[in-house]
Amino acid sequence: MVYKSESSLTEAELREALKKSIEGKNLKKILLLPPDYTRMYSGAGQITRIYYELLSDTCEVDIMPALGTHEPMTREECTAFFGGAVPYEKLIVHNWRTDVVKIGEVPAEFVAEVSEGLVRETIDVEVNRLIVDKSYDLIISIGQVVPHEVVGMANYSKNIFVGCGGCSMISSSHMLGAFYGMERVMGRDFSPVRRVFDYAEEHFLKDIPVMYVLTVTTTDNDSVRIHGLFAGRERALFEQAVALSSEKNLTYVDKPLKKVVVYLDEREFKSTWLGNKAIYRTRMAIADGGELVVLAPGVRRFGEDSENDILIRKYGYVGRERVLELVRENKDLQNNLSVAAHLIHGSSDGRFKITYCTEKLSKDEVLGVNFSYEPLTDALKKYDIKILKDGFNTLPSGEEIFYISNPALGLWACR
């Protein structure tokens, strides 16, 4: 089932589409798997609210945000994301370290084949135990298709295998993407990581009643515009969403950019684990010797959980080759390959300068992980986000910059 709009699907159109997606199904108990508040511009909060309103009077509805490695949603985030319609007490917290069961393995030979021999280990497939709970008549996985640094294009089965997955799958898939190279992955379907997810979906989820509900969105100021809704099980729907996202969420520039300024909404980005999307999504557009300035009013830590935060502080964003050496030398990184992958993703490998502008981390903390630092108040005087528009801007000083108000919604690359 596919619905598209050049402007944006209205609330009434969404409600009608979602109602049709569950018509004729005898539903007594369902599980909704939306993303968390870090995907606030996905439209998934609105979709979850509508499903809850359609079903909660006649059906038992469980809701488990696909947190992945992120911290649980707060009561305030629940209210904002789901429009006040979903009780906070209904949210089930997914713990990627403790709440999972192994449902299969992706063979080492297959991993080696899709990675061109770069990775040759078996990958365990782990999911939250609720996903294999036979009491659910339907599991609805809700999320946004958008360029992504690990899998190429986000969502579809990633929402289950990473968002509701376990340590082994998350670490292995992230490291597979890092080994293969972000520039070869971002904005593309059929990446090595996506092919691993496809293998797991085909072999280990086929008897589980999953329906994917996928969106493609942009923003207009602070409002979400849903250009496409794709609901069903078949991969072809995801491929249609990929095509639309490629049209709506990829921005090409004619020459490498000397200075890029990215703003991180403090409601969405509280860690460099998330905020480094500013790096991932712009690196293919930035010139050698250029600079990325990250305006980060909400960033107050590095990792989304305490263990990951400790490792990021310990090793820092020191570049791909050095991180690979550190993995070989240190057991704590060998046991946390998702952190190792994150450290690779978050470095420019010395190609361009990365300046974090925040006041919730100290200068010493920021310098300690191998970023440059500028106080946020000083940066905001130079880069006034109330005046800047997305794209090229000329500052009063005469300097030309390229401004991005939300890095999570796209990918920028040199043509």
CA dihedral 139, 237, 70, 38 (to 10 degrees): -110
202 CB neighbour count, 10 Å cutoff: 11
Indicate if the alpha-carbon torsion angle 48, 54, 56, 61 is positive or negative.
negative
Stated pTM of the model: 0.89
pLDDT at 333: 94
Q: Nearest to residue 341, comparing CAs of 107, 182, 195, 183?
A: 182
Q: Domains in the chain and their CATH numbers? A: 2-250 (3.40.50.11440), 254-414 (3.90.226.30)
- 319: closest CA among 355, 343, 293, 338? 343
Tokens of residue 233, six digits:
């099980």
Side chain identity at residue 225, one-letter code? R
Q: Report CA 240 to chain centroid distance, whole Å.
A: 19
Q: How far apart are CA 82 and CA 63, in angstroms?
A: 11
pLDDT at 222: 74
Rounded to 5°, angle at Cα 320 from 314 and 321:
95
Question: Rounded to whole angstroms, what are the CA distances from 294 to 24, 38, 380?
Answer: 49, 17, 11
Q: What sign does the CA torsion over 40, 73, 66, 345 have?
A: positive
The pLDDT tens digits along the chain (415 residues) read 998 888 899 999 999 999 999 998 999 999 999 999 888 888 999 999 999 999 999 999 999 999 998 889 999 999 999 998 999 999 999 999 999 999 999 999 999 999 999 889 999 999 999 999 999 999 999 999 999 989 999 999 999 999 999 988 998 998 899 889 888 999 999 999 999 999 999 999 999 999 999 999 998 777 889 999 999 999 999 999 999 999 999 999 999 999 999 999 998 899 999 999 999 999 999 999 999 999 999 999 999 889 999 999 999 999 999 999 999 999 999 999 989 999 999 999 999 999 999 999 999 999 999 999 999 999 999 999 999 999 999 999 999 999 999 998 899 999 8
